[in-house]
Amino acid sequence: MRSFFSALAALALFAAPAAAQSAPHRVFANINFGFQAQSQDLSQQGSFPIYDETATFEAIHELDGGPFFEFGGGIGLTDKFAVGASYSFRTTNTRDAAVTVSVPNPIGTDTLRTASGVATGLERSERAFHVQAIWIIPVTVEFDVSIFGGPSFFRVEDDLVESVTIAEVGGNFSQVNITDISVQSQSNTAVGFNLGIDGRYMFMPNVGAGAMLRFTRGSVDLTSPTGEADHKLDVGGLEIAAGLRFKF
């Protein structure tokens, strides 16, 4: 949050000489509520030692889009060009992940027993800081359209399966059950980009409303809690939002 205001202040200081020579209402602010449509499946593999051999598991994570909140602003350098920045965050959502485990048989060579379970309540959150160059196209006195783009900086936190605990069923080692699945939160950052269009209608000199269509993209590597290979996730996606617009 502090980094957003620092960046916005730097943009304002950089653009202040140009804005001082121009018309009023060069500083603007936006508040948006929207939905991110990105969805993907993540297949997570892991292993653990048992009976002097290695058991393996696979967890299937279905990562869906969700609502987000965003605030931002910027400053006009000319009547048709501005620079800005925004900070968006998706509300933390929960999901379940299907887990399948394959366990060696201690009394049989190359014999595996399988069992299935569900890891519940896994959480995921996504934060993004977008920097934008903005081209403003006036349509009427009250209405304009902006086309924007620039770099995006993402931070993702996601729960992954850390370990699977199994128990033997019966006394002949023919079957196992999953008795516990533990998870661990992993996080990382990524750099990507954003491109979009925003329509703004000012129904008062300083207050208006608008709608935004934006595409953002980045790729983040999350370390496996079991020490296996990193898991690559796409972040961002197609975003639709609407909200309030202010001029100062």
pLDDT values of the chain reduced to their tens digit, one per residue, 248 residues:
445 445 444 444 444 444 334 444 589 999 999 999 888 899 999 999 998 889 999 999 999 889 999 999 999 999 899 999 999 998 778 899 999 999 998 887 678 899 999 999 999 999 999 999 999 999 999 999 999 999 999 999 999 999 999 999 877 888 999 999 999 999 999 999 999 999 999 999 999 999 999 999 999 999 888 877 788 889 999 999 999 999 99
CB atoms within 10 A of CB 230: 12
DSSP state letter for 148: E
Using an 8 Å Cβ cutoff, are 93 and 64 in contact? Answer: yes
Q: Where are the domains of the chain?
A: 2-123+140-247
Sorted by sequence, the CB contacts under 8 Å of residue 213 that are 6+ apart come out as 196, 197, 198, 238, 239, 240
**What SS3 class is residue 248?**
coil
Residue 228, φ and ψ in degrees, nearest 5: -75, -170
